[in-house]
């Protein structure tokens, strides 16, 4: 049973460029949440996707957008990259239904913006 997989694991971009990060949730999970974790900080909630729609959004600008596909996989897109976007981007999958909202995290995509 594969867990949450993310790609790429590492990438380097320059200011102003655009990036797309990908996530495949744990088998059987239907909800994908994206988090940004700066060095030494806790994960910051970006948004959550369920049934191919954005259901919840954190305090992130419109430069951050996403998508969920019918197979529940998801993409995170960031446009017009800033130096401050350098961080570990974590994808977490879960089941929407019920109280048990345990998140299963992937290994993350470490983005460096130069």
Q: Are 33 and 43 in contact (CB under 8 A)?
A: no
Q: Is 11 in the site for other proteins (CB under 8 A)?
A: no
Q: Is 10 in the site for other proteins (CB under 8 A)?
A: no
Q: Per the structure block, which two tokens stand in for 17?
A: 């460029």
Instruction: Decide whether 73 or 105 has the Cβ nearer to other proteins.
Output: 105
For residue 76, the number of C-alpha atoms closer than 13 Å in the C-beta half-sphere is 32
Q: What is the spatial distance between Cα 51 and Cα 60, in angstroms, rounded to a whole number?
A: 21
Instruction: Decide whether 51 or 80 has the Cβ nearer to other proteins.
Output: 51
Site of interaction with other proteins (CB under 8 A): 33, 35, 41-45, 48, 50, 55-56, 59, 90, 92, 96, 99-108
């Amino acid at each position: 049973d594969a867990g949450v997989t993310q790609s790429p694991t590492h990438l380097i971009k320059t200011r102003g460029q655009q990036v797309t990060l990908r996530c495949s949730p744990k088998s059987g999970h239907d909800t994908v949440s994206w988090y940004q974790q700066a060095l030494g900080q806790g994960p910051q909630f970006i948004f959550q996707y369920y049934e191919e729609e954005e259901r919840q959004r954190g305090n992130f600008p419109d430069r951050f957008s996403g998508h969920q596909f019918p197979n529940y996989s998801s993409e995170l897109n960031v446009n017009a990259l800033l130096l401050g976007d350098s961080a570990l981007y974590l994808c977490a999958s879960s089941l929407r239904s019920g109280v048990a909202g345990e998140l299963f995290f992937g290994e993350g995509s470490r983005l460096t913006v130069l």
